[in-house]
Amino acid sequence: MSEEMQTVTLTVNGENVTRTVRVREHLVDFLRGELGLTGSHIGCEHGICGACSVRVDGVVVRGCLMLAVQADGAEVTTIEGLTDSGEIADLQDVFVERNAMQCGYCTPGMLMTAAELMKDGEVHSREDIREHLSGNFCRCTGYHAIVDAVETTMKRRSGRNS
Amino acid sequence: MNTRPINSLTPLDRQHSYVGRTLSRDSAKRAVAGRGRYTDDIQAARMVHAAFVRSPYAHARIVSVNVDAAKAAPGVVLVMTGAELAERCTGPWVGTLTCFENMKSAPQYPMAVDRACWQGEPVVMVVAATRAQAEDACELVEIGWEELPVVVDKERALAAGTPPIHADLGDNLAFEKTIDTGNVDAAFDAADIILEDTFEFGRHTAVSLEPRALLSEYDPGTQRLTVHTSSQTPHMIQALLARTLGVPEHNVRVVAPDVGGSFGLKIHSFGDEIAATAASMVLARPVKFIADRLESFLTDIHARENRVKARMAVSKDGDIKAVDIDVLSGAGAYSQYPRTSVFEANQILNITAGPYAHAEYRAKATVVYLNLVPTSQYRSVGHPIGNSVGEWLVDRAAHAVGMDPIEFRRRNVMKDDSYPRVSAAGIQMQDMSHEACIDALVEKIDYAALREEQARLREKGIYRGIGIASFIKGTAPGPAGYYGAGGAPIASQDACTIKLEPAGGVLCMVGVTDQGQGVDTVMQQIAAEAVGVPFDHVRVIEGDTDATPYGGGTYASRATAIGGEATWQAGRALRAEILTIAGALLQADAATLDIVNGNVIDAGTDNVRVSLAEIGRIGHFQVAELPNDIQPTLSSTRRFRLRDALYIFTNGIHGAWVEVDPDTGFIKLLKHWVVEDCGRVINPQLADEQVRGGCVQGLGGALYEHCIYDETGQLQNGTMADYLTPMAGEMPDIDVTHIQTPTTVSELGAKGVGESGTGAAPAVMMNAVNDALRPFDAYVTEQPMTPELILKALGKV
């Protein structure tokens, strides 16, 4: 009983990657196990908790609901890539300053999702921020600090642009 | 932040003190970059993965086990049955403690041997090159089952005709206890008003986002076992692994890397983790076991399943005269080893109506075994139940005597100037501040205005409720009470070893552990202040039994109160040694010197005499510069434990503002306020965030979370799609105020803060919902308070 394998080529955090993967392997398992990108976490394996959120071709997806083979030809960005590019450095700084995480397990997914909302440069209401983050489970903070951090960063960005 | 006057200015209060200041956590900087290092992130050479065949039945005899096909499956390196594992264990566990008199529990092995007693109990372990292969092979294990009668209804567990789950125990009774002040019946006979209700609390579980995780490695040459595991209590895990698997305790190293949430779940030991560790010894290869989410729901400890019948006797003037509660607690098939499954019921007895000064109290607990996963300690053990019961009866009583719930509480709480005293439950209380907290809350929420708004909206058909709930919280347990005192290898003391390094840096090794609360940062602040060095000159090391002094770890809101005091004392001792060395070098009286910002100075001046880097250099490399009678250790270890007290009790009060839709039963949370007294606050931001996170965890249990079992003991909601947790969209902003009454049991003055939010939030939420329902003359006494429950209370379904 040998496992069915398939070769995929994709871009991960700007690097070209070619690997032969088990066809049943989830994208997040591939990123973590094969590429050592352990910043994406596995929480619920049902697409509910958002800990495995990664960006695929510009859209935030659940790494536990997508197979690695489905990412063939795609451009994938993980928290490591977002960190290296500096795209969300301000948000990360405010997360630290505001202590918008405790155990940190949800944090990469939370940042990934928040970054998506912040793309339009608008300052969203706290209610909208809460709504947008509602697919990301955080057991530690109670969310208040996370909402504060996202709101603060939006305001700072907006202040810079105006 | 409100700070009550602290009697005299101590070194903790001086200008620029690191104690009382918000400083950022180093580990947060790693977390935001995705550089956290959790157990599953660790890879080891030749590592293999364990998966488990688990009982599909709540109660069934194992008639046959055939593992031949599994053994032959691709990648499989080991298949082990429960019976085979039992032979490798020194003996079964029995989850009793001597401090719980007449408690009983059946012996249990890490995996079922001839009978499974709960759905999800591990039966066969398969170890393979990948987790996927191990799971594939699990599918090939054939087990012949003979189903047995199932006991899942706690109300019937002791009924005649209900078979005992464990015949040797005679019945399904785990533990009974009664507290009785003696004149309760007389007080009820004499009472003007008696309020009575029956409360139901659903079973729920921790749902740490990182599941249970373990990587065990054994070296047969040195006979050393190294275990990385997501744990709050590395030393307890060390003791259990050593004792269960027959490895000398000093040969076992337990490391807790980053822990992705714990909440009490990770102070426990689990059979699958023992099995995976045994596999690492058999194979002499690293074995990893990571629970998946279904395994987590099925096999993590559960908590909170209690039915409470409660009565309160009140005078027409509004004085609580007596409280009488009868608690029926549904445990699992075994008492969890070694912390037991009876703590929750015991704690309900300790704390129900605990803020109040009534003299008469009777509280009975009955804990029964069920064919369900074992229950045990989960954040704020017992408190959500005791607080909800007591606070709802208080609200009813206030209404019955025509008194505002705030006024009723003011009248009945233990007065701030009345300590030390003993509660009706027999618990020693001191350094508490119910009255100050009530005053602060009233001001914070603008209570009168909120009541006016509520009345105005009611006229428009909008039903809002104001919840008020006072609370007490037992934190930082002492050595005279439970755990160690009851025979478990669990320390109630904690320790710190602190060292001055040659370059002037300070290493601070602590037995308490960090799971993201900021324990490491808090210890860093305390150490920096105690020694007199800049914050960033201190590095805290925790979570490694090879590197830290022995301690209990982090549980029961003890890390700062116990471990913090040990760190303070160790730091002060190191400081004293440094000053002695400096005095000898400078030919000055050490009493005229001080240490500030990493330098020895002339006390009371800015005059720098010598740096700590210089002391470190001389103390390690050029000791000849010192007189012969000084042998520097530049290191100090201190331990701290409570003396006679059972706990350091904290107190406070919550307020909640909610809207209930009488047509849908939906509850909208608008605002939540907390005023609490955790004694001296070390890092205000971290303390606030403990309170906020704790509240939301409590709100989850009050509103959404429920492990639902059918009558055959089958879990109905084993995914996060089916088991609801609080998400950002439903949760309110939470306003936190601290009243600081330092505990007098330590110099530091810190009490515990991590759990009180979880303990009080369900109470205030029930009161808020019931306040919203008051115009309908309806109320609920069951949690979680689902829309269906609300509609039932309103007579609509």
DSSP string, chain A: -PPPEEEEEEEETTEEEEEEEETT-BHHHIIIIIT--TTS--S-SSSSS-TTEEEETTEEEETTSSBGGGGTT-EEE-HHHHHHHTTTHHHHHHHHHTT--SS-SSHHHHHHHHHHHHTT-----HHHHHHHGGGS--SSS-SHHHHHHHHHHHHHHHHHH-
Please check whether residue B674 is in contact with residue B733, taking contact to mean a CB–CB distance below 8 angstroms: no
Our CA-based measurement puts residue A129 at a distance from the nearest CA of chain B, in whole angstroms, of: 8
pLDDT in tens, B429-451: 999 999 999 999 999 999 999 99
- Best probe of the A interface among B230, B727, B731, B753, by most A CBs < 10 A, is B727
Asked if A39 lies within 8 A of B731 by C-beta distance, the reply is no
Of all residues in chain A, the one with the smallest CA distance to B732 is A144
Report the pLDDT value the prediction gives residue B3, as an integer from 0 to 100: 46
Report the pLDDT value the prediction gives residue B1, as an integer from 0 to 100: 44
pLDDT in tens, B441-493: 999 999 999 999 999 999 999 999 999 999 999 999 999 888 888 999 999 99
Of all residues in chain A, the one with the smallest CA distance to B295 is A44
Q: Which positions in chain A touch B515 (Cβ < 8 Å)?
A: 102-103
The closest alpha carbon to B346, from B486, B176, B473, belongs to B176
How many Å apart are CA B234 and CA B552, to the nearest integer? 8
Report the pLDDT value the prediction gives residue A162, as an integer from 0 to 100: 57
pLDDT category of residue B245 using cuts at 50, 70 and 90? very high
pLDDT category of residue B4 using cuts at 50, 70 and 90? very low
Asked if A83 lies within 8 A of B27 by C-beta distance, the reply is no
A89-120: buried (b, 16+ CB within 10 Å) or exposed (e) per residue?
eebbbbbbbbbbbbbbbbbbbbbbbbbebbee
Quote the pTM value: 0.97
Q: Which positions in chain B touch A150 (Cβ < 8 Å)?
A: none
Q: Is the pLDDT of residue B331 over 70?
A: yes
Q: Is B507 exposed, middle or buried (CB count within 10 Å of its CB: 0-12, 13-18, 19+)?
A: middle
Of all residues in chain B, the one with the smallest CA distance to A50 is B209
Q: Which positions in chain A touch B263 (Cβ < 8 Å)?
A: 139
pLDDT category of residue B9 using cuts at 50, 70 and 90? low
Q: What torsion, rounded to 10 degrees, do the Cα atoms A64, A69, A74, A77 define?
A: 30
Q: How many CB pairs under 8 A join A and B?
A: 180
H-helix segments, B603-683: 612-621
pLDDT category of residue A161 using cuts at 50, 70 and 90? low
Of all residues in chain A, the one with the smallest CA distance to B207 is A139
Our CA-based measurement puts residue A14 at a distance from the nearest CA of chain B, in whole angstroms, of: 17
Asked if A103 lies within 8 A of B207 by C-beta distance, the reply is no
Our CA-based measurement puts residue B151 at a distance from the nearest CA of chain A, in whole angstroms, of: 30
Of all residues in chain B, the one with the smallest CA distance to A95 is B32
Asked if A139 lies within 8 A of B697 by C-beta distance, the reply is yes
Q: What angle do CA B608, B610, B613 make, to 5 degrees?
A: 125
pLDDT category of residue A48 using cuts at 50, 70 and 90? very high
Asked if B34 lies within 8 A of A24 by C-beta distance, the reply is no
Q: What phi, psi does B646 have (nearest 5°)?
A: -70, -40
Report the pLDDT value the prediction gives residue B614, as an integer from 0 to 100: 98
Q: Is B158 exposed, middle or buried (CB count within 10 Å of its CB: 0-12, 13-18, 19+)?
A: middle
pLDDT in tens, B18-75: 999 999 999 999 999 999 999 999 999 999 999 999 999 999 999 999 999 999 999 9
Of all residues in chain A, the one with the smallest CA distance to B43 is A33
Query: Is the peptide bond preceding residue B338 cis, with omega within 30 degrees of 0?
Result: yes
State both tokens at B438.
Answer: 């009530």
How many Å apart are CA B359 and CA B425, to the nearest integer? 9
Our CA-based measurement puts residue B199 at a distance from the nearest CA of chain A, in whole angstroms, of: 26
Q: Which of B36, B693, B728 sits opposite A134 (nearest CB)?
A: B728
Q: Is the pLDDT of residue B118 over 90?
A: yes
State both tokens at B333.
Answer: 């098939």
State both tokens at A154.
Answer: 């939006």
Our CA-based measurement puts residue B256 at a distance from the nearest CA of chain A, in whole angstroms, of: 13
Segment B418-431 shows an average pLDDT of 97
Asked if B731 lies within 8 A of A142 by C-beta distance, the reply is yes
Our CA-based measurement puts residue A131 at a distance from the nearest CA of chain B, in whole angstroms, of: 5
Q: Which positions in chain B touch A47 (Cβ < 8 Å)?
A: 721
B82-109: buried (b, 16+ CB within 10 Å) or exposed (e) per residue?
bbbbbebbeeebbbbbebbeebbbbebb
Q: Residue B643: left if φ>0, alpha if ψ -120 to 50, beta else—which one? A: alpha
Task: Name the helix (H) or strand (E) containing B242.
Answer: helix B234-245
B39-74: buried (b, 16+ CB within 10 Å) or exposed (e) per residue?
bbbbebeebbbbbbbbbebbbbebeebebeebeebe
Asked if A96 lies within 8 A of B32 by C-beta distance, the reply is yes
Q: Which positions in chain B touch A97 (Cβ < 8 Å)?
A: 24
pLDDT in tens, B545-598: 999 999 999 999 999 999 999 999 999 999 999 999 999 999 999 999 999 999
Report the pLDDT value the prediction gives residue B16, as an integer from 0 to 100: 79
Q: Which positions in chain B touch A137 (Cβ < 8 Å)?
A: 209, 720, 725, 727
Report the pLDDT value the prediction gives residue A160, as an integer from 0 to 100: 75
pLDDT category of residue B88 using cuts at 50, 70 and 90? very high
Residue numbers of A between 31 and 50 with CB closer than 8 Å to B: 32, 37-49
Asked if B696 lies within 8 A of A142 by C-beta distance, the reply is yes
The closest alpha carbon to B560, from B438, B692, B650, belongs to B650
CA B213 to chain centre: 18
Asked if B733 lies within 8 A of A45 by C-beta distance, the reply is no
pLDDT category of residue B367 using cuts at 50, 70 and 90? very high
Q: Which positions in chain A touch B721 (Cβ < 8 Å)?
A: 46-48
Residue numbers of A between 89 and 108 with CB closer than 8 Å to B: 92, 95-99, 101-108
Asked if A102 lies within 8 A of B689 by C-beta distance, the reply is yes
Q: Is the pLDDT of residue A2 over 90?
A: no
Of all residues in chain B, the one with the smallest CA distance to A85 is B33
Q: Which positions in chain A touch B689 (Cβ < 8 Å)?
A: 99, 102, 141-142, 145
Q: Is the pLDDT of residue B7 over 80?
A: no
Q: Is the pLDDT of residue B169 over 70?
A: yes
Our CA-based measurement puts residue B187 at a distance from the nearest CA of chain A, in whole angstroms, of: 42
Asked if A126 lies within 8 A of B515 by C-beta distance, the reply is no
Of all residues in chain A, the one with the smallest CA distance to B209 is A43
Asked if B727 lies within 8 A of A78 by C-beta distance, the reply is no
pLDDT category of residue B5 using cuts at 50, 70 and 90? very low
Q: What phi, psi does B389 have (nearest 5°)?
A: -65, -55
pLDDT category of residue B82 using cuts at 50, 70 and 90? very high
Segment B701-728 shows an average pLDDT of 98
Our CA-based measurement puts residue A66 at a distance from the nearest CA of chain B, in whole angstroms, of: 16
Task: Name the helix (H) or strand (E) containing B574.
Answer: helix B564-586
Segment B198-221 shows an average pLDDT of 98
Asked if B692 lies within 8 A of A144 by C-beta distance, the reply is yes
Contacts of B200 (CB under 8 A, 6+ apart): B306, B307, B781, B782, B783
Q: Which of B36, B696, B721 sits opposite A104 (nearest CB)?
A: B36
How many Å apart are CA B151 and CA B118, to the nearest integer? 10
Report the pLDDT value the prediction gives residue A43, as an integer from 0 to 100: 98
Asked if B33 lies within 8 A of A79 by C-beta distance, the reply is yes
Q: Which positions in chain A touch B37 (Cβ < 8 Å)?
A: 38
Q: Is the pLDDT of residue B380 over 80?
A: yes
Asked if A41 lies within 8 A of B292 by C-beta distance, the reply is no
Report the pLDDT value the prediction gives residue B10, as an integer from 0 to 100: 72
Asked if A103 lies within 8 A of B516 by C-beta distance, the reply is yes
Q: Is the pLDDT of residue B6 over 50?
A: no
Asked if B38 lies within 8 A of A38 by C-beta distance, the reply is yes
Asked if B728 lies within 8 A of A106 by C-beta distance, the reply is no
Our CA-based measurement puts residue B261 at a distance from the nearest CA of chain A, in whole angstroms, of: 6
The answer to whether residue A85 neighbours chain B at the CB level (below 8 Å) is no
pLDDT category of residue B14 using cuts at 50, 70 and 90? confident
Report the pLDDT value the prediction gives residue B482, as an integer from 0 to 100: 86
Asked if B292 lies within 8 A of A45 by C-beta distance, the reply is yes
Asked if A104 lies within 8 A of B31 by C-beta distance, the reply is yes
Q: Residue B139: left if φ>0, alpha if ψ -120 to 50, beta else—which one? A: alpha
Q: Which of B35, B697, B720 sits opposite A48 (nearest CB)?
A: B720
Q: How high does pLDDT run on average in chain B?
A: 97
Asked if A105 lies within 8 A of B261 by C-beta distance, the reply is yes
Q: Which of A43, A136, A145 sits opposite B692 (nearest CB)?
A: A145
pLDDT in tens, B627-678: 999 999 999 999 999 998 899 999 999 999 999 999 999 999 999 999 999 9
